[in-house]
């Protein structure tokens, strides 16, 4: 599925404030919001050496394959996802299978706190998604040629 997502400035600021609060309250290192197709909408925080766009694309891939896995075992979806490595932990949730919120944190942040604060970010995003200030066109195909055409049109 491809998407075309347009956010006005006020909406962007609202999302950004929610992400800033999340980082302050949880001590997580980074949080990002993306579409199911891997388009990055907002991010806050920083992880050294992390290529944010690549990570967003990979997470989107993991989310989509996990969704298929859920359906294969008779679940509607798996709403939470958690991976723990030696240093890094990754936790993500989705909003109505359209948006993904992912966070990266170390041992200094607590998973329980991350989960509780993630709910608050989700509420803000849910309101944004359901509001009229956002316009999403999920149906249009996007490929390299389309993008080049659009570039020259503009």
Site for other proteins, rule CB under 8 A: 110-113, 115-117, 119
Q: How far is CA 25 from the centre of its chain?
A: 19
Closest approach, Cβ 106 to other proteins, in A, equals 12
Cβ closer to other proteins: 113 or 134? 113
Cβ closer to other proteins: 34 or 101? 101
Closest approach, Cβ 27 to other proteins, in A, equals 9
Closest approach, Cβ 47 to other proteins, in A, equals 20
Cβ closer to other proteins: 67 or 113? 113
Tokens matching residue 129: 């998604």
**Rounded to 5°, angle at Cα 1 from 95 and 4:** 75
Distances 53 to 48, 50, 76, 82, 94 between C-alpha atoms, Å: 14, 9, 28, 20, 18
């Amino acid at each position: 599925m491809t998407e075309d997502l347009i956010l006005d400035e006020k909406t962007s600021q609202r999302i950004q404030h929610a992400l800033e609060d999340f980082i302050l309250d949880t001590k997580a290192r980074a949080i990002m919001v993306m579409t199911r197709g891997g388009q990055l909408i907002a991010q806050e925080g920083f992880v050294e050496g992390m290529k944010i766009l690549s990570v967003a694309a990979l997470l989107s891939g993991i989310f989509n394959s996990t969704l298929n896995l859920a359906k294969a075992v008779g679940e509607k979806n798996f709403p939470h996802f958690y991976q723990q490595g030696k240093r890094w932990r990754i936790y993500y949730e989705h909003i109505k299978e359209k948006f993904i919120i992912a966070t990266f944190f170390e041992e200094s942040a607590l998973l329980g706190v991350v989960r509780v604060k993630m709910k608050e970010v989700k509420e803000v995003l849910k309101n944004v998604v359901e509001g009229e200030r956002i316009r999403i066109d999920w149906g249009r195909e996007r490929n390299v040629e389309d993008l080049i055409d659009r570039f020259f049109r503009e």
